[in-house]
Structure 1
Amino acid sequence: MTSSSVDRTLRAPGRFSKARRGSEPYAFILPTALLITVLMIVPIVMVIGYSFSDNVITNKHPELVWLANYAEVLGDPVFHTAVINTVVFTVGSVAAHLVLGLAFAMMLNTQLLSRFTKALFRTVYILPWLFTAAVIAVLWRLLLSPNGVVNYLLDSTGIASGQVEWLSNPDLALGSVTFINIWAGYPFFMISLLAGLQGIPHDLYEAATVDGANGIQKFFSVTIPQLRPIIISMLLLDLIWTSQQFALIWMTTGGGPINVTEMLSTYTYKLAFSRYEFALASTSAVLVLALSMVLAVFYVRHQRARD
């Protein structure tokens, strides 16, 4: 055996070991990549394909109609109503989540309350976050029924009389479901902002005190700037989650009465499973996906800038 062949034999295991080490990271992410492909990428591609065809699934031989489905959905007055309701529901819920979450977080972070009192309030305030959407929907349907506790309390205190139809009155239904969603979602903001408040150095407040700042000036000059990264992240996430809310709306009002609580999620569901227009439902789902992707892009850009 020549010296060159010996050298190649000695170097071969080294090259094999180096190649194996280089492929190990890909082997670790392969199962996750397969799951994402099968459970996310493939369904999304299929739905996008359905949106360019006539009624799929119920039609054995669907044909391409290109943008006809998009024109039909975008021209549907119910779709316009769903967009407006979704914007009102989402913006109102997210704004209230932030205000209530920040207020309760600051109360739980104050030094004026004892540990026992803060622990008690923390337990009470976190309760809505422990319930599932089904439990929340059933609970509030009972509370807001014409013979429910809310009407009884309002009648007893003289604020309102009679049996108010909170979830069946077209003038009250959207506000009622928005209130329910606010009640169910503010603990997420409260816990996150409380953690942020506890991470703010006390030296900043002491320096502001030395400079003669009062409580309001400290809040806007120290607290808010320190919490800004957390607030922006939570606002973007809550916008994405709330705009896709389905279970709570479906189990309280079902999008009614007369579409006053119709959301993009319930509109898409009805197209698919009430009217069996799966191509139109796919089109609506693609539009919702596009809106969600816009918010997701802002969130990712914010996270990169934060890092």
Structure 2
Amino acid sequence: MRSTLEMPTRSGPASPVSTPGPVRPAPVRRRRRLHRLVPYGYLSPTALLIIVLMVIPIVMVIGYSFADNVIVEPNPVFAGLANYVKVLTDPNFLAALRHTVAFIMISTAAHLFLGLTFARMLNSPLLGGLAKAIFRLVYILPWLFTIAVVAVIWRLLLDPYGVVNYVLQTIGILQHGVDWLADPSLALWAVTFVNIWSGYPFFMISLLAGLQGISPELYEAAAVDGAGGVSQFFHVTIPQLKPILLSMTVLDLIWTSQQFALIWMTTGGGPLNVTEMLSTYTYKQAFSSYEFATASASAVIVLGLSLILALCYVRSQREVTR
């Protein structure tokens, strides 16, 4: 807006003169700009860490996957898709892929089943307060141990002279001790069992929280309509737990696909590569065979598979929030 003032002149009557409106001083404008930059200042340390610790390494590994003689030579040779062809045609990689898929699927299914079973038991009104507290403590114990401790415990338990063989021999199931982690026909099943044992408590706690959030009125209404326990489970419990079940399933697929420490500290991918996973295969390529270009190509493939699972998780979350 412009204001006019009547300015007298010598030659005649006053004439209107326009003057500019109020102008904000420069310090005020500067403070407002700085105020807008404050959120970015708070985010900058985290953004810097993500760039340095995630973005740059990922870009470097992707670049290594298209080169040859990386790290060893100062000027790597561009190899195109040769490393990817080498990896995808490697029988060991294909075997690791099969083992990983079996390991993931069995572990996730067992986590869901055991987690839901124990959660329903802990949510049952038949158990008193003290009994629930004791069972919760017992069932959550595997989740309290680190992977290193879990690996050491089960290596001792599954030893030919360990507790598991002793119990099975005592009750007459086995005639002699079995080396569960060294037998090619049993090692993958043994490692999968250990992973199931160490991972089901997280499902149990999450599903128990979901069960406690279901309104009792839904079960009362279903009972009035003549629904029994099985019908209530499939028509009330499962639909109410569907968002949690979907989210936990996709997350467990991602976490289990990245399992490395448990495999490495129990079997190391052996015996005869029967427990070789994509994670251990990539590690061996890099630090046992020193094939960093091949390891980079394998890592990029694993990254792509993980991104697919991550996109599935994001999509599931969007469906839940709708």
TM-score greater than 0.5 by the shorter chain: yes
**Identical columns (%):** 64
Cα deviation, residue 6, structure 1: 8.4
Residue from 219, 227, 235 that aligns with 1:221: 235
Alignment of 1:115-154 (within 5 A): 115-154=129-168
Whole-angstrom CA distance in 1 between matches of 2:298 and 2:313: 23
- Higher helix residue share: 1
What does the per-residue CA deviation read over 1:20-43, in whole Å, with 9 as the maximum and x for residues that have no partner? 222222111111111111110110
Residues in 1 aligned to 2:21 and 2:226: alpha-carbon distance in whole angstroms: 81
2:66 equivalent in structure 1? 52
Give the Cα–Cα distance (whole angstroms) in 2 for the partners of residues 55 and 36 of structure 1: 28
1:208 aligns with 2:230: no
Instruction: Please report how far the alpha carbon of residue 93 of structure 1 lies from its aligned counterpart in structure 2 after TM superposition.
Output: 0.3
Alpha-carbon distance between aligned partners in 1 of 2:147 and 2:22, rounded to the nearest angstrom: 68
User: Partner of 1:158 in structure 2?
Assistant: 172
Partner of 2:76: 62
Instruction: Return 237-246 or 15-24, whichever deviates more.
Output: 15-24
1:197 aligns with 2:211: yes
Corresponding position: 1:183 with 2:197: yes
Q: Verify the 8 A CA contact 1:151 1:163 in the aligned structure 2.
A: yes
**Which aligned pairs between 1:1-307 and structure 2 lie closer than 5 A?**
7-8=22-23, 10-307=24-321
Which amino acid in 1 is paired with 2:150?
I
- Point out where structure 2 has 5 or more consecutive residues left out of the alignment: 1-17
Residue by residue over 1:29-67, the C-alpha shift from the partner in whole angstroms, topping out at 9 and shown as x without a partner, is 111111111110110000000000002112232111010
Deviation at 1:304, TM superposition (A): 2.2
Asked if 2 retains the 8 angstrom alpha-carbon contact of 1:69 and 1:279, the reply is yes
Deviation at 1:18, TM superposition (A): 2.7
Q: Is the 8 A contact 1:55 1:280 kept in 2?
A: no
Q: 1:196 is matched by which residue type in structure 2?
A: G
Q: Tell me the equivalent position of 2:9.
A: none
| Structure 1 residue 197: Cα displacement | 0.3
Length-normalised TM-score, structure 2? 0.92
Cα distance, 1:284 vs. partner? 0.5
2:100 is paired with a residue of what secondary structure? helix
> How far apart, in 2, do the equivalents of 1:183 and 1:197 lie?
22
Q: Deviations over 1:233-265 (max 9, x none)?
A: 000000000011000000000000111000000
Which has the larger strand fraction?
2
Structure of larger gyration radius: 2
Greater CA drift, 136-145 or 23-32? 23-32
Whole-angstrom CA distance in 2 between matches of 1:242 and 1:174: 14
Looking at structure 1, the residues matched to 214 and 31 of structure 2 have their Cα atoms a distance apart, in angstroms, of 49
Aligned residues: 305
Once the two structures are superposed, what CA deviation does each residue of 1:50-91 show, in whole Å capped at 9, x if it has no partner?
Answer: 000002112232111010000000000000000000000010
User: RMSD across aligned C-alpha pairs, in angstroms?
Assistant: 1.4
**What is the identity, as a one-letter code, of the residue corresponding to 1:7?**
P
Q: Which runs of 5+ in 1 are unaligned?
A: none
2:179 partner SS: coil
Match of 2:22, as an amino acid?
Answer: D
Distance 2:47 2:144 in 1: 32
Find the aligned partners of 1:93 and 1:55 in 2 and give their Cα distance: 38
CA shift, 1:7, in A, is 3.4
TM-score by length of 1: 0.97
